[in-house]
Copies of this chain bind each other. A is one copy, B any other.
Amino acid sequence: MRAARGDFLSSAEAMRLAIAEAKKGFAHVSPNPLVGCVVLDSAGRLLSVGHHEKFGEAHAEVNAVKGLSTHELQGAQVFVTLEPCAHEGKTPSCAKMLAQLPIDQVVYGLEDPNPLVKGQGAAILKAAGITCLHYQEMATHDLKDELEELCEAFLWNFRHRGVFVALKVGCTLDSQLALSSGESKWITGEESRSEVHRLRASYDAVLVGSGTVLADDPRLDIRHPEIQKANLAVVIDPSGRLTSKRDQLALGQRELGKTLWIEGERDPAKILDRLWDEGIRSVMIEGGAQIASAFLAAGLINRLHLFRAPVLFGNQGRSFAEFFRVESMGERLTPRQIQTQNFGPDTYLTGLLRDPQTGVIYRGM
């Protein structure tokens, strides 16, 4: 959505704007969540926006109110996608900072997922005489899914003490990743590939199998004009067939420490444990069919990113789910919260394969 300073915004518009603002931090906040903040004046007109820009630096609330005068903040309303933090961490408590301002009201989108501190930010604000509301309680427009999606990896990490896993697929209309020869450059178009680079920046790491490395020798780095980030690549090489070749591979040319080689392990759950121990909180699997199928079969994919080019290869034995199958209608995977979009000539679909709260895999109906 577009809004200019001085525009009157409804609560729903303000929260949507805060969500849009939060997304600007996508490449640099992990393992923190994306957070956005919007300040309206006492009459409901837009004063300012802010977002959490980088891990370890100022929170969204600080960025939103900085530069506003006491006069402007008199009776203001603050909309923030996540409950303001109660405690000092790398930065001071946002709830305490807001409590000192002459604002009237704070509306937050999601409660802090930590049961030990949930509600404490709100309590600090209320004690200071500021009305503090949970958006879900007041709103006629339900933004719960959008708010949760904004910090889905953070919430998953907290709730399940595990790595958030996305699977990215770029395939044909008949679901092939490549020709039987292995050739795959390029199936999807430029617009899709640009979006993939943006997605790479949203996750802590990308992950591929040794087969993909041998077939494509991918760089797996982020090549996007608006993103400056050296990402981490994880290569799963169960039989160690890349060991002697590493120096000749594009991946071998990457910045030191930016490629993690995992040998001798093919159990998806154990691979994720290893990533967790390495401090990786979210990962995007980029192929090939062996790895994708293994993680699908293990029920360990949280989110699917599916790019599809208007191209037909026929059956090359290279479906992205080639080595996975369900045995009955009741077992079929039925992703939810589906969103679709076009990127140039390609279509894109994303959805959740597991319940974000319980972790249950969506199946059957």
Chain A: residues with CB nearer than 8 A to chain B?
Answer: 172-175, 179-180, 183, 293, 296-297, 304, 306, 310-316, 319-329, 332-336, 338, 340, 342, 345, 347, 349, 351
Specify which chain B residues have a CB less than 8 angstroms from the CB of A351 in the assembled complex.
310
A325–B314 touching, CB < 8 Å? yes
With A174-B175, A347-B340 known to touch, is A314 a contact of B293 (CB < 8 Å)? yes
Contacts of A328 in B (CB 8 A): 179, 183
- Partner of A347 from B323, B324, B329, B349 at Cβ < 8 Å: B349
Q: How far is the CB of A176 from chain B (nearest CB, A)?
A: 8
- Across the interface, which residues of B come within 8 angstroms of A325, CB to CB? 180, 313-316
Chain A facing B: main interface SS: loop
Q: A173-B175, A310-B334 are in contact. List 13 more A-B contacts (CB 8 A).
A: A173-B304, A174-B319, A174-B321, A175-B319, A180-B325, A183-B328, A310-B335, A311-B335, A313-B321, A314-B326, A315-B319, A338-B345, A340-B347
Contacts A173-B349, A175-B175, A179-B329 known; A315 to B310 CB distance under 8 Å? no
Candidates B314, B324, B332, B333; contact of A296 at CB < 8 Å: B314
Chain B contacts of A349 at CB under 8 A? 173, 310, 347
| A314 vs B345: C-alpha distance when bound (angstroms) | 25
Q: Which residue of B lies closest to A175 (CB)?
A: B175
Complex: A329 Cα to B293 Cα, angstroms: 25
Chain B residues in 8 Å Cβ range of A319:
174-175, 315, 319
A300 CB to nearest B CB, Å: 14
Contact A340 B342 (CB under 8 A): yes
List the B side residues contacting A342 at CB < 8 Å: 340
